[in-house]
Amino acid sequence: MADSVPISEAKARLTELIRRVEGGEEFVIRRGPVPVARLIRERSPRIAPPGSVPGIGGHLADDFDQPPEPGFTEPAE
């Protein structure tokens, strides 16, 4: 179970609490007796491999790394 700290204490000890969160601990921040927030470690973003997201093509043209044909212009934004 996560340790509980009042807002004023969390504010005064934020750097220490973040170090402890990096080590795997969790804290519930409360206003008086009422829990209002949870301080937890951020998960690393997961990057989906090409072709694994439905509806988004994962195919690259065979010539994707070649210079564009003469006269090619970028689409307008």
- Interior/surface letters 9-35, b for 16+ CB within 10 angstroms, e for the rest: ebeeeeeebeebeeeeeebbbbeeeee
pLDDT tens column, 8-37: 999 999 999 999 999 999 999 999 999 999
Query: Would residue 74 count as lying in a domain?
Result: no
Give a yes or no: residue 14 inside a domain.
yes
In a domain, 31, yes or no: yes
Residue 27 falls within a domain, yes or no? yes
Task: Tell me the residue type at 12.
Answer: A
C-alpha–C-alpha distance, residues 68 and 70, integer Å: 6
- How many folded domains does the chain comprise? 1
Would 23 be classed as within a structural domain? Answer: yes
- Please check whether residue 46 lies inside any domain of the structure: no
| pTM for the model | 0.56
Q: How many CA atoms lie within 13 A of 39 on its CB side?
A: 24
What average pLDDT does the chain have?
Answer: 86
